[in-house]
Amino acid sequence: MSSPFRLTDIDALSLEEAAAEHAALVAEIRHHRELYYSKDAPALSDADYDRLEQRLGGIEARFPELMTQDSPTQTVGAAPSSGFGKVKHAVPMLSLANAFEDGDVADFVGRIRRFLNLPDDTPVSFVAEPKIDGLSLSLRYEKGRLVQAATRGDGAEGEDVTANVRTIRSIPHELTAPFPDVVEVRGEVYMTRADFLDLNRAQAEKGDKVFANPRNAAAGSLRQLDSSITAGRPLRFFAYAWGALSEPLGATQSESRQRLESFGFTLSAPSRLCAGSDDLLDYYREIGRLRSELPFDIDGVVYKVDSLALQERLGFISRSPRWATAHKYPAEQATTRLNAISIQVGRTGALTPVAELEPVNVGGVVVSRATLHNRDEIERKDVRVGDLVIVQRAGDVIPQIVGFVPEPERERAEPYAFPECCPECGSMAVREEGEVVTRCTGGLICPAQAVERLRHFVSRNAFDIEGLGIERIQLFFEQGRIRQPADIFTLEREEEKRLDRLVSMTGFGKKSVEKLFAAIEARRTIALDRFIFALGIRQIGEATAKLLARAYRTAENWRDRMVAAAAERAEKPEEKKPELVGEAYAELCAIEQIGVSVADDLTDFFREQHNLDALAALLEQVKPEEYVPPAAATTSPVAGKTVVFTGTLVTMGRSEAKAKAEALGAKVAGSVSGKTDYVIVGADAGSKAAKAQELGVKILSEEEWAALIAG
């Protein structure tokens, strides 16, 4: 399975090469998540997207110092749309890890055994079920009555679609007794293929929009602001999981599924209880043979550990449960003509080539564009304008180009010449040594970068300023009204005496402009992690921003420590050991999952005077809130403590121990410093234990640690 970014095998990458590719992959994946989850307008195939995530995961496995908590391998989904009210999920709605080959399934089972320290002869059962290709939904019932329905959104917060969900006939308004006082039923809203075809025929007859596939039709139908439109669409619902519960549904996944069915829900079927990887693969192949006969689209099957007690022990990583995985089916293919290659410029200056295709039907979906990712991808596949190319898709979106089809009778065009200058501003486009991405050097003078950075700043995961979309940002930028983030918050003051003129110049109505000003004013106070994320610093996504907010607590403290770390790094740019660079830099690198790569991107940002000036101007206009730890993480004896695990742990795996510590509010660091509170040592503890002894840090055995956290 080839990487869409590089030819180089991951094992052959240097750290510098890996860091460059990692950054490019992160940017690409985030862009496609926004298109898929927030806009119902995906621009990449499921197969291509899965390969991006698989490549990213492989790089992070070999270079763990590159992994950050906001990496796409640690996060899920995208922010909810501003058109709906927002609902915070009591229990996060996470995504699933993926398996593609038979060996991946065996690895999944093996990881579970290793995490739980289970002997090979200890049986572990799994529930296997089809993976429906629809839109994830959470339904909250209180005293048996439906009180709220929400989409997954970014996993922590979704869209309130209660009114629309009440129109779906397969979702009960009242549960069949007996039922818990509180139960959140989770599953997938979907549309059968037959209903999809009927809907598209009706849409075409009315001259309305037709949908590319059943998944997009279901998502677009559910996310209508007018619930009467949703009521007219043939939506259905499969239940397969749960969130918050006032009492357990059963002791196993299979028992809990039966309870869901007793409430009145239709379940994802056919399912099977399996023992081990061989049984799971038999089920996968059987469903694959039945796939075309099923009335709905699936893109794989899902495997879940049956025992809920084992599920609880296994827990979660940032974006997915350890006890479940999705096993995907191969992609579908077709051929078409490559008409042109265009270039898009992103907010980091990355030049991304896009294949403009002769429209072609691939597995029931008509597609006409596909990303080519970067120069390496074009050269590796040797695709040229005019070629007949093989395209493939898995799921419901625009495909990837697999390669070209030789045509001996047809003379091929010259190899594609990647531009040496930015198509937006004319600045030089360069590719740094070790990087896979070609970037515009124009920086702030490049309108594509400036506008994209502002767009990121006001996006839903950042400042979430409703009414300030890309069209308005572009217009205000061209008019010189908004050039940096702080300008957004002075816009009203500058325009308040000229509102009529602003209305006439922009073409927006007076009420629309007044609403925009109100939305801007409402964002003068913002959570610290959202503030940090909004700045658009390279490699600093939502999860890493939360880590930084938790570590530094206030915007002023974070800024001052970053300035100090940047000064230290500037004096010792080649030093590999953080503790030899300086205290502030070492403190930053010691934050679990930050590491040198992310720290260097942060310090690079704070070494630029124009960034410091823009940050100072912004802090004059907005007030980031001080980070306050969640109540659940403040009552344990290790809340707020910094801990380091070293050596081989016996009573539980290292991953399980770290997860438990973080759940209790502790900060798990990767290295020992004077600010470390506890070092927990297992067998064969080495340099970290010695360092702790040297610094006078308290050392605990596994047993002492277990007694401490037990309270």
Q: Which of 249, 234, 266, 247 is nearest to 129 (CA)?
A: 266
Answer yes or no: are the C-beta atoms of 324 and 303 closer than 8 Å: yes
Answer yes or no: are the C-beta atoms of 482 and 488 closer than 8 Å: yes
Distances (CA, A) of 359 to 217, 342, 426: 20, 16, 31
Q: Output the pLDDT for position 70.
A: 62
| Residue 631 CA neighbour count, 13 Å, CB half | 0
Alpha helices, H only, 349-459 = 375-381, 447-457
pLDDT averaged per 10 residues in sequence order, the chain, 711 residues: 50 76 81 61 63 80 71 55 74 88 93 88 93 92 95 87 91 94 95 90 82 85 85 93 94 96 93 94 92 86 96 85 92 87 85 90 74 87 93 63 90 93 85 80 71 87 86 84 90 59 60 84 93 89 88 94 95 90 91 85 85 91 86 70 85 76 80 87 82 89 87 66
For 57-85, what is the HEC assignment? HHHHHHCHHHCCCCCCCCCCCCCCCCCCC
Residues 6+ apart with CB under 8 A from 265: 170, 171, 172, 185, 187, 237, 238, 239
CB crowding 150-185: b at 16 or more within 10 Å, else e: bbbbbbbbbbbbbbbbebbeebbeebeeebbebbbb
| Residue 517 CA neighbour count, 13 Å, CB half | 17
Q: How many residues does the chain have?
A: 711
Q: Which of 568, 538, 546 is nearest to 633 (CA)?
A: 546
Q: Output the pLDDT for position 239.
A: 96
Opening angle at CA 22, ends 17 and 24, nearest 5: 100
Answer yes or no: are the C-beta atoms of 69 and 547 closer than 8 Å: yes
* Burial environment of residue 574 by CB neighbours within 10 A (0 to 12, 13 to 18, 19 or more): exposed
Q: In sequence order, what are the beta bridge partners of 131?
A: 300
* Burial environment of residue 563 by CB neighbours within 10 A (0 to 12, 13 to 18, 19 or more): middle
Catalytic site residue 131? yes
User: How many other C-beta atoms are found inside a 10 Å radius of the C-beta of residue 478?
Assistant: 11
Answer yes or no: are the C-beta atoms of 31 and 346 closer than 8 Å: yes
Determine the Cα–Cα distance for residues 69 and 487; give it in Å rounded to an integer: 30
Q: Which of 354, 469, 337 is nearest to 413 (CA)?
A: 337
Determine the Cα–Cα distance for residues 523 and 290; give it in Å rounded to an integer: 52
Secondary structure (DSSP) of 535-564: T--TT--HHHHHHHHHHH-SHHHHHHHHHH
Chain centre distance of CA 479: 34
- Only one residue has tokens 């490049």, namely 446
Distances (CA, A) of 140 to 87, 181, 256, 321: 11, 10, 16, 21
Of the candidates 39, 131, 328, 576, the residue annotated as catalytic is: 131
